[in-house]
């Protein structure tokens, strides 16, 4: 009986260790492809439609909180997303979490981000420089930071991804 208990405990420890190892590797393999476009102009500011698709090439199914998307222009924060007002496809929705199935993609998830007019005022000098210098040497740096939490059987872990574009 003692031997059976030791083997069972060893098997459980091995299974838990394998699962945790897979989770640790998955945080470096999950790919979040972010895109966006200007949706409309309003009295509040410029409304961007941000789309993202979460790809999970691992063998572990994960649950993730809706990502917080932060946009900066030349180092100045101009907008953050609303984590509640997102459109998650039915096959990837679990209450207020996103399910990323093993070896699958979530499909296109949409969120609106409002860049207030007041925030754009702080980057107007950079925009004017960019428009005046058509030689291509003056670039605007747009940085999209994505932060979320990945939920597992053993707790929640942070997930971050940064994308920088020069235009």
What's the pLDDT tens digit per position in 63-113? 889 888 898 888 888 998 887 778 888 888 888 889 988 888 888 999 888
Q: Is the pLDDT of residue 15 over 60?
A: no
Q: Is the pLDDT of residue 10 over 70?
A: no
Domains and CATH numbers, the chain: 30-166 (2.60.40.10)
Q: Mean pLDDT across the stretch 122-150? A: 80
The Cβ of residue 51 has, within 10 Å, a number of other Cβ atoms equal to 15
Asked if 109 and 86 touch (Cβ cutoff 8 Å), the reply is yes
How far is Cα 124 from Cα 99, in angstroms, rounded to an integer?
Answer: 40
Lowest mean pLDDT among 13-17, 51-55, 104-108, 123-127: 13-17
Mean model confidence pLDDT for the chain: 80
How far is Cα 10 from Cα 35, in angstroms, rounded to an integer?
Answer: 46
Q: Which residues does residue 153 pair with via DSSP β-bridges, in sequence order?
A: none
Q: Is the pLDDT of residue 51 over 80?
A: yes
| Backbone phi and psi for residue 63, each to the nearest 5 degrees, phi listed first | -120, 140
The pLDDT assigned to 82 comes to 81
Asked if 81 and 111 touch (Cβ cutoff 8 Å), the reply is yes
How far is Cα 152 from Cα 159, in angstroms, rounded to an integer?
Answer: 13
Q: Mean pLDDT across the stretch 122-139? A: 77
Q: Which residues does residue 158 pair with via DSSP β-bridges, in sequence order?
A: 149
| Reported confidence tier of residue 26, pLDDT bands at 50, 70, 90 | very low
Q: What is the pTM of this model?
A: 0.70
Q: Which of 50, 53, 54 is nearest to 79 (CA)?
A: 50
Q: Is the pLDDT of residue 38 over 80?
A: yes
SS3 (DSSP) at 64? strand
Q: Which of 74, 70, 71 is nearest to 122 (CA)?
A: 74
């Amino acid at each position: 009986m003692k031997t059976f208990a030791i083997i069972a405990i060893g098997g459980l420890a091995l299974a838990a260790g394998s699962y945790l190892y897979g989770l640790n590797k998955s945080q470096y393999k999950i790919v979040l492809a972010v895109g966006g476009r200007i949706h409309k102009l309003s009295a509040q500011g410029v409304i961007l439609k941000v789309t993202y698709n979460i790809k999970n090439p691992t063998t572990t199914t994960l649950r993730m909180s809706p990502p917080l998307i932060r946009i900066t222009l030349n180092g100045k924060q101009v907008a953050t997303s609303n984590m509640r007002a997102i459109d998650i496809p039915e096959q990837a929705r679990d209450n207020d979490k996103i399910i990323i199935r093993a070896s699958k993609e979530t499909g296109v998830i949409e969120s609106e981000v409002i860049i207030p007019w007041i925030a754009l005022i702080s980057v107007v000098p950079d925009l004017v420089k960019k428009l005046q210098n058509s030689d291509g040497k003056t670039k605007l740096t747009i940085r999209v930071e994505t932060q979320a939490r990945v939920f597992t059987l053993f707790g929640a872990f942070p997930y971050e991804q940064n994308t920088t574009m020069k235009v």
